[in-house]
Amino acid sequence: MKTKLALCSVLLLLNLASTARAQPPSNVGGIGAERCGALLIDIARDWKVASLTGQWFLGFISGANVETILHRGTFKDVTSLADERSSATAAPLIERCKQTPDKMIIEVAHEILNTLPDMDFRAADAAKANQP
């Protein structure tokens, strides 16, 4: 089931975000350009910021996945982050920000991205095609 969820997410993202790109920190604006400490202050003031951060984080990972599928044929398995509440999806990012308040949010997002397991897109696509 998790593989199906990951594959469906990736296929949807390929259709919707084929031009999305995860940019290096020097080309980042918005949430990603903020320091973790500022994010934590914003979340303390308004809990909705956690939800917005979760949405940004999933968008960042989705863009990175599209990029790696197109260039390497792999994608990061995001099922460990899957939750219908975007504020819960932001939890790993927020927790790591608590440990490193001086880092930019995009740096922390890159670190988390690199901990996610790689999946072979072609193999996952073939497995899906062979299911009844």
For 12-31, write each residue's pLDDT tens digit.
343 333 334 444 445 557 88
User: Measured between alpha carbons, how far apart are the two ends of the chain, in Å?
Assistant: 14
Q: Which of 20-24, 55-59, 64-68, 92-96 has the lowest mean pLDDT?
A: 20-24
Position 116 pLDDT exceeds 70? yes
Overall number of domains in the chain:
1
Tokens at residue 65, please? Answer: 């996945």
Position 132 pLDDT exceeds 70? no
- The upper half-sphere exposure of residue 33, i.e. CA atoms within 13 Å in the direction of its Cβ, equals 6
- Any idea which residue has 């995001």 for tokens? 78
Angle at CA of residue 110, ends 72 and 100, nearest 5° = 165
Of 103, 91, 105, the C-alpha closest to 33 is 105
Q: Which domain holds residue 93?
A: 2-129
